[in-house]
Amino acid sequence: MNIGCHALVWTGEFDASGIRSAAARTRAAGFDLIEYPLMDPFVFDAAVAASAVAEHGLAVTASLGLGEATDVTSEDPVVVAAGEALLLRAVDVVAEMGGVHFCGVLYSAMKKYMQPVTARGLENSRRAISRVADHAADRGIRVSLEVVNRYETNVLNTARQALAYLEEIDRPNLGIHLDTYHMNIEESGMFAPVLDAAPHLQYVHIGESHRGYLGTGSVDFDTFFAALGRVGYDGPIVFESFSSAVVAPDLSRMLGIWRNLWADGDELGAHANAFIRGKLLAIDSLRLH
């Protein structure tokens, strides 16, 4: 099982030096995986990332949220095609980095919608995601759809909605990505959604209710980790935290990161790594009970 960190804990700039320093600091904090945000996969330097993660012995994954001009739930075929092209390129970036996981809000734009998704928009999304999954399967990559809160998509807000979405797309490498920050807003609890999603659960984000230090907010991590243990989850578990101390302009603004919740990413990361590994260690002992 790989315990990882989202690269925005370290830097908001993903030029070559940002890519390299994020990998070095991820390793220094004790993690064994780095997740790079691919807000623009057409400019992200996959070769630099591949060499940085190899140098530090890290596994690598990538995530993104689509924008308005690339929204695959749009009813405009030009916008849907642009979204699909971006997702296909992102899959290639993951392959070029040597990764096997691609995740995030891939099935719609990541934004506050002012109306529900339309039947046609949902169909466009499913068609694009099917082709992205097939493209990824050819490269040995799993695609995981992140379930996020109502202010960030109108398509998948709960694990059971994700199951319904997947029912109509039968792809063995396509699965569900749960995030404790979003679950804490939308789900009825932290145990049942993990059990429901388990057969398709491929990726996990660990975030606190205010997106700051783990254990200082209202997320019930004990129940969530107990659920992961109960279903025998062994995929990536990736820490995600955002503060106005580190800003990637598009992503930070979309996520509403207006406050400074921490100043030192290295201290924060080391704390999160110890927090996650401590929970997993304790839960593992339940096998003996």
Residue 51 vs 252, nearer CB to Mn ion: 252
How many other C-beta atoms lie within 10 A of the C-beta of residue 120?
11
Size of the site for Mn ion (CB under 5 A): 3
CA 242 to chain centre: 13
Looking at residue 100, its amino acid is: V
CB of 199 to Mn ion, least distance (A): 21
CB of 29 to Mn ion, least distance (A): 18
Beta pairing class for 59-66 and 3-6: unpaired
* Binding residues among 199-218 for Mn ion as defined by CB under 5 A: 205
CB 91, CB 135: distance < 8 Å: yes
Secondary structure letter of residue 69 according to DSSP: G
- Part in contact with Mn ion (CB under 5 A); list of ranges 29-37, 163-171, 174-182, 229-237: 174-182
Q: Report the catalytic residues.
A: 146, 240
* Binding residues among 215-254 for Mn ion as defined by CB under 5 A: 240
Residue 50 vs 206, nearer CB to Mn ion: 206
Q: Is 20 in the site for Mn ion (CB under 5 A)?
A: no
CA 47, 48, 54, 57 dihedral sign is: negative
Residue 175: what are its φ and ψ, rounded to 5°? Answer: -150, -165
CB of 156 to Mn ion, least distance (A): 12
Residue 60 vs 82, nearer CB to Mn ion: 60
**How many whole angstroms separate alpha carbon 180 and alpha carbon 195?**
14
Rounded to 10 deg, the angle between the 46-56 and 16-28 helix axes is 20
CB of 146 to Mn ion, least distance (A): 6
Query: Among residues 274, 272, 269, 282, which one has the least CA distance to residue 228?
Result: 282
CB of 240 to Mn ion, least distance (A): 5
Candidate list 35, 71, 84, 179; residue touching Mn ion; CB under 5 A: 179
Residue ranges that bind Mn ion, judged by CB under 5 A: 179, 205, 240
